[in-house]
Structure 1
Amino acid sequence: MTDKPIQPWQRLHPEFKLNGLPIALEALEDVAYSLTKEGEAFEREYGEFLLDWLDQSEDIWVKTSGSTGAPKNWKVKKEHFLASARLTGEVFELFPGRRTLLGIPGSFIAGKMMFVRALVLGLDLLVVRPSKNPLKKTGGRFSFVAMTPYQLSHSLEDISRVETILVGGAPIAKSQVQQLDGHRGRVVASYGMTETLTHVALREVHPKFEPSFQALPGVHFTTDDRDCLCIQADYLGLESLQTEDLVELIDSEHFIWKGRLDRVINSGGIKLFPEQIEDKLDALIPYRYFIGSIEHNHLGRQVVLFIESEEVPVNLLEEIQNLADFEKAEKPKRIHWFSQFEELHSGKVDRLKTQNKTPDQVSELQIQ
């Protein structure tokens, strides 16, 4: 790259470190190439991204997660990556030299953005193999770590070493919030997607709990006639990004997320939000699960609990029947058991394919 002009996205912060070692622009391309050829699978993902990032093109292609439909390629200007990274740095006070941990796959936009933040802000980035507890085999303290709710639940014994944990990819359940009691650090839930280059809104979870998401500076929200969120973010070049997320809009900068429109269950004329039901079940079920529905002659759709497990606990049906904070219509009438769920390329559960798959076992619930 020495015979070509240096582009804005190729200007590394002088304090940037990778795995504790300073690295200059001239060497970064060699490192990226080496990762693609000799690295483990997760390292190859980051190597390929870095090679794309460091070329002369003003744009880069990323793939959406597929959680709201078929995955698609999304063309993004690198200047928007830079703007997003700088804004995150301001919001979370990520000053040069701050130590951060990257333990999520490079196929996720969140993983790509963690790398860009480190390059732009001069962070000391430690990259580890993605696992349910990315902190386990690390030492020392971290200023900033991005995690999924699943990782957070499995990292509780180590999170005392982290100042701020940014949680995304799925909603945080009430039971997870309760598990944070005594933790001295800060935990923040994020709202965003590939198209918004991760978060455009944040919600404090711990030590202070906020029920609503607050827009990042420069972001504004409206809703359409379905009460689905619409996003305006000039720094990302988004004049009006229409989502399928049902929300309670408080004002142009605050909303309460209710669930996905394409997952709403109309059972007997009552609209039910699977994500809200899942939140109530979280403390009860130790397996991977979700709420879906099947056709029903009288109700239209019948609520079904889908569980991934080799075992079928005999007492689970009784425990669900005895839950006090459920509305009658919310209680699942059936459980479909699977030894393995169908998955999207991102690792998230493919709810639609799983619901259309023949279960390994069915349990009927007699809930009055």
Structure 2
Amino acid sequence: MNPNPTYNQPHASFKLEGVFYDTIGLSSLANRFIKEGKDYQVSLGHFIVQWIDLSPEISLQTSGSTGTPKTVLMSKQAMVNSALATGDYFKLKPGDSALSCLPFEYIAAKMMFVRAYVLGLELDCVKPSSNPLEAILRSYDFCAMVPLQLENSLEYLHQITTIIVGGAKLSNGLKIKLKNSSSSIYETFGMTETVSHIAVKNISQPASFFEVLPSVSIGVDERNCLTVNAPHLVSTTIQTNDIVQLRSKTTFEWIGRFDTIINSGGIKIAPEQLEQQLEGFIEERFFITSQKEDSLGEIVVIVIERSKPYETLNFDILEPMKRPKHIYYVDAFKETISGKIKRQETLDLVKPE
């Protein structure tokens, strides 16, 4: 590894598609990608141009899954530091192979490039698709995916030693399917503002919790929402709206989002917990949300991705106050590019009863 890794020069072992590039070579490659590359290579080319320019910062686009998409300025050195933390946690070493199969418009794919650049990994890039391993003939040490890709790649996962997955919630059904996988698979927790993930959870272990990466410390505020101190990434404390239960100084259990809590007649209901209870009872994708109601303030409703209504649905496993008062059906959910459901935009598609 470089004595003091920065964004100025790639690691001596860094390779892209089997070829080592210095910054001059990367500049030529980026321009070629932009002019004549495939769609995903064009996006990679634009990122490389930004990465190797003289600016110490780079603009990143948030996903917009919990609010309006926005552009944030991120320190390149913070991205280097994030790559180092990931490398330390997963014991990645120079010469290890990595596969990028995510869109380079977003932080997850950009960080795959940065990790290779900083840690000296040999990175291959393929067109983002719902089944990225289908045509892959070799094995890799490291890869990042979204849940949909993971679900569609079950028969090929033996080709990847370590997989990190994020961007959307993993269903319990998928977690069960992954129990016997020979790969080490980790769910990630993070956001664009924290330069990708700051914590991971080994989903092959049934009772595991999110564990923070090196140099990250955590706490909670008066709402039990997670606070993150990561001085190697950002100088100020990061305040999240994620309700958690701290399990130790370095581990936590994710409960839900504070901004989705439903207050129905004074009872506070976490929709994510209801979704977990109902998983397996409804075949299609669904989510729990709320609507305004005069007497209770808010009531619980459920939105199901299904064109034809169910004749009957039984919610008896839920406490009476937490049972959905209305059922809405939508042909197709609105979602981010990573597969995370845009709840409010999807709810806007339905007509209140």
TM-score (norm 1): 0.88
C-alpha contact 2:168 2:338 (8 A) present in aligned 1: no
Bigger shift: 260-269 or 282-291?
A: 282-291
Question: Separation in 2 of the partners of 1:160 and 1:356?
Answer: 41
The reply on whether 1:300 has 2:297 as its aligned counterpart is: yes
Bigger shift: 8-17 or 74-83?
A: 8-17
Partner of 1:269: 266
Partner of 1:236: 233
The reply on whether 1:348 has 2:346 as its aligned counterpart is: no
Aligned counterparts, 1:44-59, within 5 A:
44-59=42-57
Partner of 1:327: 319
Aligned counterparts, 1:125-144, within 5 A:
125-144=123-142
Residue 69 of structure 1 aligns to a residue whose secondary structure is: coil
Displacement of 1:60 in angstroms is 0.7
TM-score (norm 2): 0.91
Matched letter for residue 23 of structure 1: Y
The reply on whether 1:123 has 2:121 as its aligned counterpart is: yes
Question: Separation in 1 of the partners of 2:265 and 2:138?
Answer: 54
The structure-2 alpha-carbon separation of the partners of 1:216 and 1:308, relative to structure 1 and needing over 3 Å to count, comes to: same
Partner of 1:9: 7
Write the deviation string for residues 109-138 of structure 1: whole angstroms up to 9, x where unpaired. 111101100111111212111122211111
The structure-2 alpha-carbon separation of the partners of 1:283 and 1:115, relative to structure 1 and needing over 3 Å to count, comes to: farther
Question: 5+ unaligned residues in a row in structure 2: which ranges?
Answer: none
Write the deviation string for residues 317-346 of structure 1: whole angstroms up to 9, x where unpaired. 43x446x4x333333232212223334576
Question: Separation in 1 of the partners of 2:333 and 2:180?
Answer: 34
Partner of 2:88: 90
The structure-2 alpha-carbon separation of the partners of 1:287 and 1:40, relative to structure 1 and needing over 3 Å to count, comes to: farther
The reply on whether 1:289 has 2:307 as its aligned counterpart is: no
Bigger shift: 285-294 or 68-77?
A: 285-294
C-alpha contact 1:133 1:151 (8 A) present in aligned 2: yes
Displacement of 1:242 in angstroms is 0.7
C-alpha contact 1:293 1:303 (8 A) present in aligned 2: yes
Aligned counterparts, 1:354-365, within 5 A:
354-359=346-351
Displacement of 1:286 in angstroms is 4.5
Partner of 1:193: 191
Partner of 1:314: 310
Write the deviation string for residues 210-261 of structure 1: whole angstroms up to 9, x where unpaired. 4421111211112111111111011113331111111112343222111111
Matched letter for residue 326 of structure 2: R
Q: Give the superposed CA RMSD.
A: 2.2
Residue 67 of structure 1 aligns to a residue whose secondary structure is: coil
Question: Separation in 2 of the partners of 1:164 and 1:145?
Answer: 7
C-alpha contact 1:60 1:76 (8 A) present in aligned 2: yes
Question: Separation in 2 of the partners of 1:219 and 1:118?
Answer: 22
Displacement of 1:195 in angstroms is 0.8
Question: Separation in 1 of the partners of 2:267 and 2:93?
Answer: 49
Partner of 1:280: 277
Displacement of 1:313 in angstroms is 5.6
Matched letter for residue 354 of structure 1: T
Question: Separation in 1 of the partners of 2:125 and 2:105?
Answer: 14
Question: Separation in 2 of the partners of 1:161 and 1:284?
Answer: 33
Identity %: 38
C-alpha contact 1:203 1:210 (8 A) present in aligned 2: no
Partner of 1:203: 201
Matched letter for residue 350 of structure 1: K
Residue 298 of structure 1 aligns to a residue whose secondary structure is: coil
C-alpha contact 2:309 2:329 (8 A) present in aligned 1: no
The structure whose RCO (Cα within 8 Å, separation 6+) is larger is: 2
Question: 5+ unaligned residues in a row in structure 1: which ranges?
Answer: 1-6
Bigger shift: 263-272 or 183-192?
A: 263-272
Partner of 1:227: 224
The reply on whether 1:99 has 2:91 as its aligned counterpart is: no
Partner of 1:38: 36
Q: 1:146 aligns with which of 136, 144, 147?
A: 144
Matched letter for residue 199 of structure 1: H
Matched letter for residue 215 of structure 2: G
Residue 145 of structure 1 aligns to a residue whose secondary structure is: strand
